[in-house]
Amino acid sequence: MIANVDTSLVDWSRAQFALTAMYHWIFVPLTLGLSVIQAVMETMYYRTGDEFWKKTAKFWMKIFGINFAVGVATGLILEFEFGTNWSNYSWFVGDIFGAPLAIEGILAFFMEATFIAVMFFGWDKVSKKFHLASTWLVSLGATLSAWWILVANAWMQHPVGMQFNPDTVRNEMVDFMAVAFSPDAVNKFFHSVLSGWVLGAVFVVGVSCWFLLKNRQRRFALKSIKIAAVFGIISAGLIVFTGHVAGTIIGKSQPMKLAAAEGFYEGKEGAGLVAVGLLNPAKQTYNDGEDPFIFRIEIPKMLSFLANSNFDSFVPGIADIIEGGYEQDDGTIALPAEEKIERGKKAITALAHYREAGKSGDEATKAAAYKDFQENVEYFGYGYIKDVNELVPSVPLNFYSFRIMVVLGFYFVLFFIVVIYLGYKEKLHKMKWMHWIGVLTIPLAYIAGQAGWIVAEVGRQPWAIQDLLPVTVAVSKLDVSSVKLTFFIFAFLFTMMLIAAVGISIREIRKGPDLPELEEGNN
């Protein structure tokens, strides 16, 4: 693996991957949400035989199809980048990371590809029951795709079910079930999919509100809002719960991420959660003596509850994690980061001696080196860290992204409650101010999703795999100019794809569903 690498190569490789991932997540969550909503609408058609529901479902399927196509294109590029830009990463953990991605491609993606053709082109060509089954199977396939991709991502956040093989210098899977169904993977799946469901619900409500603003297709708009709002409030309520579970999981497996998201430097019992705060830009390192905040308003003891489901529990801050010395959940005392780095260097040195002894046939030296390696392998990745300050991710980016995500999450709960209440009182179609709120809420759902992924991925830095492999070692040995060039090429292509997708979607929305206005009860 690369011990010394140009930092600009790392930065540009990270930027290219972040660019691809952020564009990919523009399209994927909407397909997750719309796939369920359109399936519910087709179920209404199957049960009632009312052509209104068929045409309503077909309208939302068009929007689904546009986003699905672009999501597949960006997703394929994202997977290829593991081999092109992060070849050391792929070599080091390919036996583990590749398995869920392979399953996603073989099982889930092919399920989508098979039944999506029936869903779009099978109307009046297959039975209503088979077509409905195809629509639900497309939704299931999209969700299963998300499962396996999120299993891979959760493993990067908290690697389990593997064992390092010093002969191949690779981590190899020893427990597939531990990888596939770890608590991190299960909760990340639900939290991420639910965010897609919330986006889908917000999108349908917002677009339907646009029709109400234009005094068009009232029945279509109100019926769509009713289904989407109920679906949305269930999803938004559940996402609050999975967010709390995520906080507990992160508090145990990635305490630095939690501390960075809170701007929390000095650990304490009964730690408060910052509800509103402004970070001090003069704060540069964990031990520079600067106050981390210009001002803040805390919810007493809530951070302790979020991290440990205990209002009085101890939560380590950034300084504690770097300096060590506090008692961890398993009763052990946390090591200082400097000691972890030294033990990581010992593991790297022992591995080199093990391989050299193996080549020369010196079994005694090989056995001694193996023993030294096993004693320090837990800190292998730390051996590549040059400065303890590298272990602290961007506090401002995590802090503000976390608050954007949380505030918008609670806003969506309130938004759906108001929409359902006004719909129940049959007042929604009269309130133009609410129609505008519905339309303007659409971009907020996208912002919340992106903010969540910023916390998840930036909060993990400097690790490609938590505590196991830093990004500086995971990167491919490429010419920086080639990475820069492809970054700008991808930026141009993805932007063009986004403009095209938005343009086509707007055209289809303006055209509206294939329903007569008189039938809609507008005149």
Which single residue is written with the structure tokens 């109920």? 230
In sequence order, which residues have a C-beta less than 8 Å from that of residue 39 and are 6 or more positions away? 132, 135, 136, 138, 139
Dihedral over alpha carbons 131, 134, 135, 140 (to 10 degrees): 160
Average pLDDT of the segment spanning 478-495: 94
Confidence of residue 83 (pLDDT cuts 50, 70, 90): confident
pLDDT level of residue 105 (50, 70, 90 thresholds): confident
Please give the pLDDT value at position 4: 58
Predicted confidence (pLDDT) per residue in 182-228, tens digit: 999 999 999 999 999 999 999 999 999 999 999 999 999 999 999 99
pLDDT score at 519 = 46
Mean pLDDT of all residues belonging to the chain? 92
What is the per-residue pLDDT for 91?
87
Q: Give 5's pLDDT tier (boundaries 50, 70, 90).
A: low
Burial 337-373 (b: 16+ CB within 10 A, else e): beebbbbbbbbbebbebbeebbeeeeeeebeebbebb
- Dihedral (CA of 57, 62, 63, 67) sign: positive
**Which residues 6+ apart lie within 8 Å of 115 measured at CB?**
134, 135, 137, 138, 141
Q: Which residue has the tokens 């040195």?
A: 349
So what's the pLDDT on residue 30?
96
> Binning pLDDT at 50, 70 and 90, where does residue 331 land?
confident
**Which SS3 state, helix, strand or coil, does residue 165 take?**
strand
What's the pLDDT tens digit per position in 18-27? 999 999 999 9
For residue 108, what is the DSSP state?
I
